[in-house]
Structure 1
Amino acid sequence: MSTTLTPSRLADSRVRFAHQPGFWVIATAFLITMAFSTVPTPLYALYQRRDGFPTYLITIIFAAYAVGVMVSLYLAGHVSDWLGRRRVALLAVLAEAVAAAIFLIWPDVPGLLLARFISGVGVGVLTATATAHLSELRKIARPEEDPSRSALISSMVNLGGLAFGPLVGGILAQYVASPLERPYEIFLVLLLLSAVGIALVPETVERLEERPAYRPQRVALPAAAKPLFFASAIGAFAAFSIFGLFTSLAPTFLAGVLHQPSRILAGVVTFAVFIAGAASQVIFVKMERRNQLRLGLAFMSVGLVGIAIGGLIPSLALFVIGGVIAGAGVGLVFRGAVATAASLADAGSRGEVLAALFLIAYAGLALPVLAIGLGIALLPAATALLIFSVLILILVNAAVPRMIKH
């Protein structure tokens, strides 16, 4: 259990940033880290072409990242509640820098697996920590402001980072001489600069002199609040499964089923899906939460149908349009899930509750993608995509209406 500090108790002569600029430093570090996590998306096909491994191995490499996220969320996503936000965020970003170095030093499949796993560990720790840290910094800097604004910025930073990573990776893959090195060199520098910035940001929780006994992640909620939490988590699971598709296998579908091998196109398509998720949150920010969820459900449903039909026809335009519409829906559902989970927790357990939400969400990032990877090994890619779309369509239509009722 942590104690959220008041501004007067947060004075620290070693900290150079006030809470408002500190908020933006954490937001920038969060953005860079999330972008780094998706930079490999358009590069997987280059690794595959270089080493000649089968498509399902791409899903395993991607799953190593998602497993890292889930392991860290389960074991350490909540520790910032009693270790402090700044310290844990700093360690998470440094883990990403280690992953970038491994990509450069050991670019073979075992190295890719290790780098992606470490990257997942860092992202898992940072996601819950940064979300809670941003909320607390903003509350201290602007106590009169609606807390939902902080949740909006945090969600936009998360999705915006995930969007820009593939775009940067795709552009570099298309135009630079060393596409499997340059992206990681750039992000290694950015991550190290982010670490320096985080070290200068104010702390927002007080580390207790007597630390509580360590335990893995659990959902620290009253029994009455758990049904709503798990409804939100299942909605996040379904939403992230769509993102998992576009951060792992979308370039493979573009090159194989749709006969579009361009690396920059692969990056742009994934960017468009994620940026649609961020944009929808801004466009509909004033809409009441239940209406946002209803609209998000409609967007995800229509988008999944477009993705499936686009793969079957096949049609590049329908596949991309379906992905963008689904991405817009994911943004609304994901924001609703985060805001709902945060509202269910008190200040001392906010990091823990958010870690539990992201743990389930990132399971959605990994498990359906592994299933579709296996499906591609056994079935035509278009058929595997259709099955994936139908299953996620059923899941999202089962989960989101429960969120709307509460």
Structure 2
Amino acid sequence: MTSSGASSGARVRFAHAPGFWVIAAAFLITLAFSTVPTPLYAIYQHRDGFPTYVITVIFASYAIGVMASLYLAGHVSDWLGRRRIALLAVLAQVVSAVIFLVWQDVPGLLIARFICGVGVGVLTATATAHLSELRQIARPAEDPSRSALISSMVNLGGLAFGPLVAGLLAQYVASPLERPYEVFLVLLLLSAVGIALVPETVERLEERPAYRPQRVAVPSASKPLFFASAIGAFAAFAVFGLFTSLAPTFLGGVLHHRAPLLAGVVTFVVFTAGAVSQAVFVRFERGHQLRIGLGFMSLGLIGVAVGGLIPNLAVFVVGGVIAGAGAGLVFRGAVATAASLAGPTTRGEVLAALFLIAYVGLAVPVLAIGLGIALLPAQVALLVFSAIILILVNAAVLRMLKATT
């Protein structure tokens, strides 16, 4: 239940309209922090000499943290309040940043990434709901889809900016494994202060319900279409997972470009393409978005594979950008399709199931390609990855398109 602000307390200094942008900024900073390690993995690897699959394990610990928190705590802000849970999520990121700074061995990286994932999972669910409610109170006549678009763009935009900032700092500032975390530690603390001053939009219940994990429900009559949507989301996240974990390894090894800034820029443009494509094609109907997204992802995955095989930096990067643009549209279409399968009382549960499967896509394919690199040439592993994701996304999108016609 939302409140117009009576329960927000006398300490709140922001109105709902500026509070919306404070939460959006905190969301963006938190997600940016989650991708800060991307251009730094190669530096850790060069310093410590661990094999490439260790990078995928470190990255997978983040995805596991996200999935665990989505399932166990993604819904608790419905009972305890948006502001309180968002604040706890950001403070978890503060803890993660401190661990990155004081414990830079592999065990420390694993723990820091897991805690980071936990914070992101909690904040993703909480901030998305909080943004929607703040916007509804501030602008009740506005189309709710605008808030959803802003939330989606903040999500992908944050994931894009983290590697760019980290790459810049690692390239041009001393202590590349400390400065990025120090900068984001300050930004996260400022975000926590801002969240504490934002209005609450949920009335806390006098009798708190008994805790239960997030229900994960799939409508039985629509299971084939739901799983098609879930596979589409899985494939889209697999592309993003590749560029937030192993892309710097391919750039430095196969393509012989080791600059941290380049690794950050490549990841930045891939995620930015995903956000921009959603904004550019927002007025298109879902079927057209899915067709465009499928075309972009197919062409981009081919480009990524060819760029690795030749090898050619330009082809690899252009392929990644096109694949990222397609992944943004496919993911948006998958969410819209899944949401349409359930009524208001079960929509959250259906989307919870979709996001859990999507985050499996963030972890499992990247783990598989990391292990593949240990057994096969990197170019072959990348080719196999691209082929599998290409098959999955075509099967998923064609099934979703069949349902929309």
Select 1:58's aligned residue among 29, 49, 55.
55
The answer to whether the aligner puts 1:386 opposite 2:383 as a matched pair is yes
**Aligned partner (choices 249, 252, 258) of residue 252 of structure 1:** 249
Q: Partner residue of 2:98?
A: 101
Among candidates 317, 322, 327, match of residue 320 of structure 1: 317
Q: Is the 8 A contact 1:277 1:330 kept in 2?
A: yes
Rounded to whole Å, the distance in 1 between the matches of 2:27 and 2:340 is: 22
User: How far apart in 1 are the matches of 2:337 and 2:20?
Assistant: 22
Counterpart residue number, 1:365: 362
Which of residues 140, 147, 163 is equivalent to 1:143?
Answer: 140
Count of residue correspondences: 403
Q: How far, CA to CA, are the matches of 2:43 and 2:327 in structure 1?
A: 28
Do structure 1's residue 86 and structure 2's residue 86 form an aligned pair? no
Q: Which moved more, 1:198-207 or 1:105-114?
A: 198-207
Following TM superposition, by how much is the alpha carbon of 1:281 offset from its aligned partner in structure 2, in angstroms? 1.2
TM-score w.r.t. length of structure 2:
0.95
Tell me if 1:127 matches 2:98: no
**Partner of 2:113 in structure 1?**
116
One-letter amino acid matched to 2:21: W
Q: In the alignment, what sits opposite 1:36?
A: 33
Larger mean Cα displacement after TM superposition, 138-147 or 335-344? 335-344
Equivalent residue letter for 1:377: A
- Normalising by the residue count of structure 1, what TM-score does the alignment of the two structures yield? 0.94
Report SS of the residue matched to 1:171: helix
Deviates more, 1:4-13 or 1:354-363: 4-13
Q: In terms of mean alpha carbon deviation, does 263-272 or 75-84 score higher? A: 75-84
Give the corresponding residue for 1:310. 307
2 CA distance for matches of 1:342 and 1:132? 15
| More divergent stretch after superposition (205-214 vs 244-253) | 205-214
The equivalent of 2:192 in structure 1 is 195
- Amino acid corresponding to residue 115 of structure 2 in structure 1: I
Q: Is the 8 A contact 1:78 1:355 kept in 2?
A: no
Counting aligned pairs with the same residue, the percent is 80
1:267-286 matches, cutoff 5 A? 267-286=264-283
Shift of 1:398: 1.5
Q: Is the counterpart of residue 215 in structure 1 residue 212 in structure 2? A: yes
Q: Report the Cα offset of residue 215 of structure 1.
A: 2.0
2:74 paired with 1:47? no
Instruction: List per-residue Cα deviations over 1:39-78 (Å, max 9, x = no partner).
Output: 1001011111111111111111111111111111111112
Measure the CA separation in 2 of the matches of 1:63 and 1:222. 29
Report how far residue 9 of structure 1 moved: 5.1
Separation in 1 of the partners of 2:328 and 2:254? 27
Where structure 1 has 5 or more consecutive residues not aligned to the other structure, the ranges are none
Distance in 1 of aligned mates of 2:232 and 2:321: 18
Once the two structures are TM-superposed, the CA of residue 397 in structure 1 deviates from its matched residue by 1.0
> Does residue 1:178 correspond to 2:181, yes or no?
no
| RMSD of aligned alpha carbons | 1.8
Shift of 1:255: 0.9
Unpaired runs of 5+ residues, structure 2, are: none
1:9/1:401 CA distance change after superposition, 3 Å: farther
The alpha carbon displacement at 1:342 in A equals 4.9
Equivalent residue, structure 2, for 1:400: 397
Instruction: Return closer, same or farther for 1:21/1:337 CA change in 2, 3 Å cut-off.
Output: farther
- Which residue pairs with 1:75 in the alignment? 72
